[in-house]
Amino acid sequence: MMRRPGPAEGANGVTVAPGGRILATANFDGTAGLWSFTNPAHPRRLGTISSHSDYVNKVAFAADGDILATADSDGTVGLWNVTNPSRLRLLTALSRKADTVFGVAFAPQGRVLAVAEGDGTVRLWDLTDPTRPRHLATLTGETGEERGVAFAPDGHILATASFDHTAGLWDVGWLVRRGPRDLIDRACVVAGGGLSRAMWTARAVGLPYQPTCPD
C-alpha cells in the first residue's frame, strides 16, 4: 500500500493525471500537492500549490494532463500549468469570493470546465484560452449546494450532485463540442427566429438594423 501523501491537517480530495503516474491532492491546509508514484511504495513530492486562502476542496486534471484546476472554500478556482511540476504556473483564477466551490471537472475534450458552487449553481467555462476563461452557461434548478460534477466519457452529459438529495443529468453536448456561433444558432432555434425589423426598432432604439439569426 502506498503511504498517504498530504499535510498533517489531512487531504480533502485526490485525482490522478492521465497517464497514471502523477497524483494531485486537495488539502485542508489550503495547499494542493503533486506527487509522483512511479514507485507506488515511495511517492515523491513534485510540487506544492500554496496560494489558496482556505481549504482546497477539489482538484481535477484536464484531459491532456497539462492543466490542474484547484477549488477552495473561499470561492476560488485556480488553473495551473503543471507541465513542469517543480515550477507550477498560475494561468488564471476564477473567483467570486462568495460561495464555496465544492467540485470541478473538465470535459473529456479538455476545453470546458464545470464548477459546482455552494449557491446551488454549476457554471461552465470555455478554456480555449485558459488564461482568459469565458463564461458559457449557468445551470440552475437544484435547491441545495452543488457538491460534485462529472462528465460522461463523451462529454455530452454532465452529472451534478446536490445537497438537496438530488442528482441532475444535463445535456451539455451542444456547449462542449461547439463554439459561440453555435450557441447563438441554438438560441435562434429555441426562440423560433431572430428579431424582425419592427421588433428591432422597438427594442434597439437608435441602432441600425442587423439580422440576429440566419435565415
Task: Please state the domain extents for the chain.
Answer: 11-178, 179-215
- Long-range CB contact pairs, 125-128, < 8 A, 24+: 125/94, 127/62, 127/67, 127/79, 128/179
Domain range 11-178, CATH architecture: 7 Propeller (2.130)
CB count in 10 Å sphere of residue 165: 9
Instruction: Return the pLDDT at 39.
Output: 87
The residue assigned the cell 471537472 is 105
Of residues 86 and 110, more confidently modeled = 86
Distance CA 41, CA 199 (A): 69
Length of the chain, in residues: 215
**What letters, b where the CB count within 10 A reaches 16 and e where it falls short, cover 5-19?**
bbeeeebbbbbebee
User: Shortest CA distance to 102 belongs to which of 127, 135, 69?
Assistant: 69
User: For the residues 38-43, what does the mean pLDDT come to?
Assistant: 86
Instruction: Return the pLDDT at 1.
Output: 45
Instruction: Return the pLDDT at 70.
Output: 93
Instruction: Return the pLDDT at 38.
Output: 87
User: For the residues 52-56, what does the mean pLDDT come to?
Assistant: 83
Of residues 53 and 34, more confidently modeled = 34
Q: What percent of the chain lies above the pLDDT cut of 70? A: 84
Most confident of 2-6, 35-39, 190-194, 206-210: 35-39
Of 73-77, 108-112, 168-172, 179-183, give the lowest mean pLDDT range. 179-183
